[in-house]
Amino acid sequence: MLRIKDLSFSYGKEKVLDQIDLDIFRHTTTAIIGPSGCGKTTLLYIMAGLLAFEKGEMVWSIEHQSRASRKGIILQNYGLFPWKTVENNIKLGLITQKRPKEVVQKSVDEIMERLNITEIRHKYPHQISGGQRQRAAIGRTLVLKPELLLMDEASSALDALTKETIQDLVLEIFLEQSMSMVFVTHSIEEAVFLGQNILIMEQGKIKEKIKNENVGMADHRKEASFYEKCIEVRSALERRTSC
């Protein structure tokens, strides 16, 4: 679906990404984890088209070139407009695309019901909880039916139980829809729960790739295999020096 080859990026004289090679395949999830400052978020922003890389290439497969613009990103602070209600935040992308009014309303109603946020549709971001803001941000992105979903530390500000609920919801939606997902996280548990492919980054490079076949397994967090994979990822991180 998406091939990144020999990609580099710098902020001034500081090299942030150094010859990144990465393939993102259709209907897969990829977790990017590593110490602060190692280039995780920069790589995600380049995938989203928010930053321009200076060297290398990023190529969409021919099969999906017509839909290559269908990328959705959920930021750490959710990116909701504080002066708009939950409903109007979710509508925004569809309105920008000049969809018919009745199509917009039907799509928004469906996604709000799916995310269990219909009752807060007329509230503003400051009037709702962190978990509800996260659901609203997810709704605003998924209503556009993205081919590629990108998330940057999207659940880091949530308490443990709310975080797990959001992770369950994201996984459920991923399993139902034909999309790909790439997410940046500092949480080993989140990387193992959601990431079929786990990338360990250090100093602007992908140092290790770990396969994780148990994503989507029932009661995954309660299984020994979950903790075994967490230990494997932790060991890989500890083998790396700090960025």
Helix (H, G, I), strand (E, B) or coil at 222: helix
29 is a domain residue: yes
17 is a domain residue: yes
Helix (H, G, I), strand (E, B) or coil at 49: coil
Tens of pLDDT, residue by residue, the chain (243 residues) = 789 999 999 988 888 999 999 999 989 999 999 998 899 999 999 998 889 888 889 887 745 444 445 788 888 777 889 999 999 999 988 888 888 899 899 999 999 998 889 999 999 999 998 889 888 988 898 888 888 899 998 777 678 887 888 888 888 888 887 789 999 999 999 999 999 999 999 999 999 999 999 888 878 888 999 999 999 999 999 885 544
Q: What is the CATH number of the domain that holds 45?
A: 3.40.50.300
The residue range of the domain holding 201 is 1-70+179-243
187 is a domain residue: yes
Distance CA 208, CA 212 (A): 13
Could you tell me whether strands 205-211 and 197-202 are parallel, antiparallel, or unpaired per DSSP bridges? antiparallel
220 is a domain residue: yes
With vertex at residue 158, the alpha carbon angle to CA 143 and CA 147, rounded to the nearest 5 degrees, is 25
Residues 51-55: contacts with CB within 8 Å, 24+ apart? 51/9, 53/7, 53/8, 53/9, 53/17, 54/8, 54/9, 54/10, 55/6, 55/7, 55/8, 55/9
What is this structure's pTM? Answer: 0.86
Sheet holding 197-202, edge to edge: 71-74, 148-152, 180-185, 29-33, 197-202, 205-211
151 is a domain residue: no
23 is a domain residue: yes
Split into its structural domains, the chain has a count of 1
132 is a domain residue: no
243 is a domain residue: yes
- Cβ of 119: how many Cβ atoms within 10 Å? 10
